[in-house]
Amino acid sequence: MSTKLYILRSTACLSQHQGSDVTILVQSYHSQTGLRATCERLYDYHQSGWIHRWMPKRTSQDILVINLAVGDALFSVINGFMLKTLSGFATHWVWVPFACSFYGFTGGLFGFVSLASMTFIAIERYYGALRTTPYMITKKRALWIIPFIWIWSATWPSLPYFGIGRWVLEGFQTSCTFDYISRDTPNLVFTTCLFVLGFLLPVTATLLAYSAVYWLLHRTSAELRQVNRCEGDSKRLTYTRGYSIRQMRLAKSSFAAFTLFVVSWGPYATVALISIIGFQNHLTTFSTEIPGLLAKTSAIYNPFLFATKNRQFRRLVALHFPVLQRYLLQGHSSSHRENRTKIHFATASQSSTSIGKGAGTIGDDFVALNRFGLHFSDVSNNVNSG
């Protein structure tokens, strides 16, 4: 690949923006975002070390969330702070031409890693809701799932190194992106791969998985409530209702994190789509700089939203920051009151709730719920037939 530094034709009138208050404001936002995201990732890693002392069994959620945090941390340090911020305050690209292609490659790599990690989180929850036998990511399975995420994510932004497409300076000439102006075949192939295979395919798979999870949760919960009413077991009915509420809350929070990620990276995907359909002349300097601002915000809240769903993580944060105890431990007392009902429910269906290794995860909860539904449906059918 050539080391020549390419500049988009749409940035020819850029000199009037350099050194302006708008440019300084944009670069200040980039620097604050990069520093804040880096500090949050370091704190997450510090707390995760303590959490893993309490949790000797790694679950699928732990593995994928850690992978998600690693991708966001590297994106914040390399792209958000080191390369982008220093060039931003200098109001021009201060690095060698090869760094431009490296910036584009790492930005695409870490962004796709985060998206693919969230896709596998959604798929794991779908399989947990679908199956009546445990389906977990063990350490052996993780040996191929995590490398697959990184290889898949690295494939599409690495195409310029093989002569397919190129990375060019964009916006305020302080960052690099794919060439959305040129209409030659290699650049169109490169842009299409980024949009369809790197972005659209994982987003579609995630949406389908969460839709299936919602449908299965509603269906199984409704069947259990009907069976419990027929049997007249109020304690079992109370737990079933509480379980459905808790699992729906977890699913909604995960989907919210995914939605925020899509909103952050969606503008970049929109720029790619505009280039593919041939309306690249409508793109301006500011319309290509704004996607970079939004994309870097995902590194701040993305892993944090997943990590704060972990009850042990919330306890540790509340221990270090007592002022947040009221908010982080808000549902602790209510969940404690449900334990007696939960124990009674599990004891009544001991043969249906014996879950294998990795118990306590969302997928295992769904497995237990499905087993409960099958067990009590069989009991109800036998009673009715008798």
Task: Read off the CATH number of the domain in which 137 is found.
Answer: 1.20.1070.10
Residue in this structure with the two tokens 């749409």, named with its chain if needed: 10
- Residue 374 burial by Cβ neighbours in a 10 Å radius (0-12, 13-18, 19+): middle
Helices (H), 80-200: 84-90, 97-130, 139-155, 185-192
For 352-377, what is each residue's pLDDT tens digit?
333 333 334 444 444 444 444 444 44
Torsion sign over Cα 71, 73, 76, 78: negative
Residue 264 lies in a domain: yes
Residue 192 lies in a domain: yes
205: nearest Cα among 298, 111, 302, 120: 120
Segments in the chain below pLDDT 70: 1-61, 129-140, 220-250, 302-304, 306-313, 316-317, 324, 327-386
Q: What angle do CA 349, 355, 358 make, to 5 degrees?
A: 150
Residue 122 lies in a domain: yes
Residue 36 lies in a domain: no
Residue 24 lies in a domain: no
> Based on the structure, what is the number of domains in the chain?
1
In 171-240, at which residue ranges do the beta strands (DSSP E only) sit?
A: 175-178
Distances, alpha carbon 170 to alpha carbons 9, 174, 289, in Å: 9, 7, 7
Q: How many residues make up the chain in this entry?
A: 386
Residue 283 lies in a domain: yes
Residue 112 lies in a domain: yes
Domain that holds residue 153: 58-324
At residue 313, the pLDDT reads 66
Total-model pTM: 0.72
At residue 339, the pLDDT reads 46
At residue 192, the pLDDT reads 94
Residue 181 lies in a domain: yes
